[in-house]
Amino acid sequence: MNWIPQLLEIAPAANTADNYLPIAIQLIFAAGFVAFMIAFSAWAGPKRKTSDKLENFTSGIASHGDARQPMAIKYFLVAILFVLFDVEVIFFYPYAINFKELGWEGFFAVLMFVAFFLIGFIYIIKKGALNWED
Amino acid sequence: MNAIIFSALSGVAMMFTGIFTTNKSAIRNVAVIALLGLIIVNLLHSYGIFVVRVNTHSMLQFETFGLFFNTLVFAATLLFVLLSGKDVTNAGTYGAEYFALIFFVLCGVSILTCYNSLLMLFIGIEILSIPLYILTGADKRNLKSNEASLKYFLMGSFSTGILLMGITLVYGITGTFSIEAMRPAVSVGAPNYGILEPVGLLFIFIALLFKVSAAPFHFWTPDVYDGAPTVFTSFMATIVKAAGFVSFIRLFDARAIEMGISWKIILPVIIIATLLIGNITAVFQQSVKRMMAYSSIAQAGFMLFAVYVNNDMSKEGILLYTAAYSIATIGIFAILTRMKDITFDGFNGLAKKHPVLAATNAVFLLSLAGIPLTAGFFAKYYMLAAVVKENGAGALWLVIVAVLFAAVSVYYYFRVIQAMYFKEGEPEITEVSGGFKTALVMLAVLIVLIGTFPSALLNWFYF
C-alpha cells in the first residue's frame, strides 16, 4: 500500500500520462458512486405502486390537455436575440479589466467590435424582427 | 488579410442590400461586383501591391499557396454566381441573405488558407460551417431540406466538439496553439510529448475528415447533399470541400512528423475506404443528384493524396484538382437544377432536344471521370505522380488501386452520357436562357483549356 502516499503528493512538473492516474481514479470513483447509489436505492427502497403515484403531475395540479401546442415564434426570436446581444456585452468585462494595458489599439479593436454588433442590431430592427404586432 | 476583411464586409453589405431592395437582379449584380472586388483585393495582396497590415500576433501567416488558392476559390465562386445566381435568389425568400452567407463562407475559407494557430483553424471551420447549416435549410417549406439542415447541424457541431477536444489535448501537452512553433523543434531535436499529442492530432484529423466527407465519416454527405437546394449542394461540394483540404494540408505540413510512422498507415486505409465506399455506392444510385453526392466522396479520396504526400507536385495537384473538380461540378449541378426529373431516366434523349446542354454536360462528366484532354485527367495525374515521386515504387500499389477505382467511376459518369445520347425519351426541362448556355460553353472550354495546358494555370501560381 505504499503507492497511496505517492498519489497524495503534488504532481511533478513534467507532463506525462502517468500524472493523470489520480484523475482517472477519481473518475472511476465518481462513476462507481453514482451507479452504486442508484442501484442501491432501487433495490433497498420500498415499492408501493398506485395509479395516482404513476401519473404525471406538476405542482400537485392534475394535468390535462397536450403540452405540444403551437406557440408564437416571436417569443423564441426575442429570446435568441437577447442571448446573442447578452453574450456580446459580456466581452466588455474582460476589456474593462484590461482597459489601461490595451491602450489605444485595444480601444479601436473594441470600437470595431461595437460597430459590428451595432450593424447587427440595425439589421434586425430594419428586418422587423422586433415588431411585436404584425 | 485583405480577403478576410473584404469578404466579411461584403457579407455585411449584402445583408443591407436585402433591406434596401428586393429586386433580385440588383442583388445579383451587387454580389458579382463584390466578388470581383474580392478577387482584386486578394490579387493585390498576392503581388504585395496593397496589403492591410494588422498585427495578428503570428496567428495567421500568408503564403503564396494560400493566397493563390483564395484567388482560385473566389474565381470559382464568381463562375458559380454567374451561372446559377438566379437559382440562389430563387432558393427561398431571402435572396440577398444567401449571398451574405456565401460571403461569410468565403471569409472562413480565407482564414483556413492562412491559419497558423489551432485557434484560427477552429474559428475558420466554424465561420465556414455555420452559414452552410443555414443554406442547407434555405428551402424552408421542404421537409427534406429541413431534415438535411438539422442532420448537418447536429453532426457538424459534434465533429466540432471532437476538433476542440483534440486542440485541447495538443495544447495541454505542448503548451502552444501555434502550428509553426512545432516545425523548428523537429530539426533541433523534438521533445517527446508522449501519447497525448498523437491522440490530440488524431481527434483533429477525425474532425477534418468529417468536414471533407472522407470515409468512415461520410455518412452525412448523401443525405445533406440530396436534401439541400441543388445550388447550395453545388457550392458545398466544390468550394467548401476544397477549403477543407487546404486546411488539412496546412496542418499536415507542419505536424505530420509529430505523428511518426502511424499516419503513413492510417491515411492509405482512409483513402482506400473513401474510394471504395464512394465509387461502389455511386454505382447503385438511381438519382443523379445522389450519385453526385457519392461521387464527391470518391473525389475526396483522390484529393486526400495531397495530404498523404506533401511535396511541390501534390500542392500543384490540389490546386489543379480544385479548379477541375469545382468547374465541372458547378456545371453539372447548374444543369441539374434545370431538370424536372433528376433520375438517370430524366436525362434520356437530352442530346436531341438540347444539344448544347448535353454536350457541355458530357464534357463535365468526362472531366470528373478523368479522361485525357479534360482538366480532370491532369488533376488525377498530378496527384498520383506526386505519390510516386515521393515514395517511389513502394507506393505503386496505392496508385494502382486508385486507378482501378477511377475506372469504376467511369461507369456511373458514362451512364448519364449514355442516357443523354443513346436513349430515347422526352426530357422535361425548365426554360434556359441564351446567357446560361453561353456560360456553360465557357466552362466547358475552360475545362478543355486546363486539360490541354495545365501549366498555364500552374505557371500563374509561381508568379
Tens of pLDDT, residue by residue over B195-252, are 787 888 889 989 999 999 998 899 999 999 999 999 999 999 999 999 999 998 888 8
The answer to whether residues B186 and B257 touch, using CB atoms and an 8 Å cutoff, is yes
Q: What is the pLDDT of residue A20?
A: 82
Q: What mean pLDDT is reported for chain A?
A: 81
Q: What is the pLDDT of residue A6?
A: 52
Q: Determine the longest span between alpha carbons in chain A, in angstroms.
A: 74
Axis crossing angle, helix B312-338 with helix B375-391, rounded to the nearest 10: 150
Amino acid at B413: Y
Rounded CA Rg of chain A:
28
Q: How deeply is A1 buried, as exposed, middle or buried, from its count of CB atoms within 10 A (0-12, 13-18, 19+)? A: exposed
What is the number of alpha carbons within 13 Å of residue A99 lying toward its C-beta? 4
Q: In chain B, what residues touch A113 (CB-CB under 8 Å)?
A: none
C-alpha cell at A57: 403531475
Q: Which residue of A has its CA nearest to B196?
A: A17
Q: What is the pLDDT of residue B308?
A: 87
The answer to whether residues B356 and B441 touch, using CB atoms and an 8 Å cutoff, is yes
Which of B15, B20, B53 should one mutate to test binding to chain A, selecting the residue with the greatest count of A CBs within 10 A? B15
Cβ <8 Å between B16 and A127: no
Asked, for residue B275, whether it belongs to a domain, the answer is yes
Asked if the C-beta of A119 comes within 8 angstroms of chain B's C-beta atoms, the answer is yes
Q: What is the pLDDT of residue B184?
A: 47
How high is the ipTM of this complex? 0.76
- SS3 for A98? coil
DSSP string, A101-113: HHHHHHHHHHHHH
Asked, for residue B229, whether it belongs to a domain, the answer is no
The answer to whether residues B334 and B321 touch, using CB atoms and an 8 Å cutoff, is no
Cβ <8 Å between A119 and B194: no
Contacting residues for B86 by C-beta, under 8 A, at least 6 apart: B24, B28
pLDDT in tens, A57-115: 667 677 777 778 887 888 888 888 888 888 888 888 999 998 888 888 889 989 988 89
pLDDT band at A12 (very low <50, low <70, confident <90, very high): very low
Neighbours of B155 (CB within 10 A): 17
Q: Cell 494555370, residue?
A: B457
Q: Cell 403531475, residue?
A: A57
Q: How deeply is B5 buried, as exposed, middle or buried, from its count of CB atoms within 10 A (0-12, 13-18, 19+)? A: middle
Where along chain A do its domains lie?
A: 73-126
Please give the Cα distance from B433 to A63 (Å, whole number).
61
Cβ <8 Å between A123 and B172: no
C-alpha cell at B406: 477511377
Q: In chain A, what residues touch B12 (CB-CB under 8 Å)?
A: 116, 119
Please give the Cα distance from B398 to B270 (Å, whole number).
12
Asked if the C-beta of A40 comes within 8 angstroms of chain B's C-beta atoms, the answer is no
Rounded CA Rg of chain B:
21
Q: Cis (ω within 30 of 0) for the bond into A22?
A: no
The answer to whether residues B159 and B208 touch, using CB atoms and an 8 Å cutoff, is no
Q: In chain B, what residues touch A14 (CB-CB under 8 Å)?
A: none
Distance between B17 CA and the closest CA of chain A, angstroms: 11
Which of A18, A118, A127 should one mutate to test binding to chain B, selecting the residue with the greatest count of B CBs within 10 A? A127
Asked, for residue B287, whether it belongs to a domain, the answer is yes
Q: How deeply is B4 buried, as exposed, middle or buried, from its count of CB atoms within 10 A (0-12, 13-18, 19+)? A: buried
DSSP symbol at A131? -
Asked if the C-beta of A17 comes within 8 angstroms of chain B's C-beta atoms, the answer is yes
Q: Which residue of B has its CA nearest to A117?
A: B12
The answer to whether residues B319 and B461 touch, using CB atoms and an 8 Å cutoff, is yes
Please give the Cα distance from A114 to B215 (Å, whole number).
43
Q: What is the pLDDT of residue B365?
A: 94
Q: What is the pLDDT of residue B342?
A: 87
* Domain membership of residue B379 as a residue range: 261-463
Asked if the C-beta of B49 comes within 8 angstroms of chain A's C-beta atoms, the answer is no
Nearest Cβ partner of A17 from B12, B15, B195? B195
The answer to whether residues B74 and B113 touch, using CB atoms and an 8 Å cutoff, is no
The answer to whether residues B451 and B372 touch, using CB atoms and an 8 Å cutoff, is yes
Please give the Cα distance from A104 to A101 (Å, whole number).
9
Task: Give the A:B interface size as CB pairs under 8 Å.
Answer: 18
pLDDT by 10-residue block (mean), chain B, 463 residues: 92 91 90 95 89 83 90 94 89 89 95 92 94 92 92 94 93 83 53 76 90 90 92 92 90 70 81 93 92 93 89 88 93 91 88 90 93 91 89 84 93 92 86 88 93 84 71
- Alpha-carbon dihedral angle through residues B272, B275, B278, B279, given to the nearest 10 degrees: -130
Contacting residues for B445 by C-beta, under 8 A, at least 6 apart: none
Q: Which residues of A4-24 are buried (b: 16+ CB within 10 A; e: fewer)?
A: eeeeeeeeeeebeeeeeeeee
Q: Cis (ω within 30 of 0) for the bond into B216?
A: yes
C-alpha cell at B260: 511518426
Phi and psi, residue A57, nearest 5°: -155, 155
Asked if the C-beta of B196 comes within 8 angstroms of chain A's C-beta atoms, the answer is yes
Please give the Cα distance from B405 to B369 (Å, whole number).
10
Nearest Cβ partner of B194 from A16, A119, A123? A16
Please give the Cα distance from B287 to B294 (Å, whole number).
11
Element (H, E) at B219: none
Asked, for residue B144, whether it belongs to a domain, the answer is no
Q: Count how many domains chain B has.
A: 1
C-alpha cell at B367: 472531366
B119 alpha carbon, distance to own chain's centre? 22
Q: Which residue of B has its CA nearest to A120?
A: B12
Q: What is the pLDDT of residue B188?
A: 53
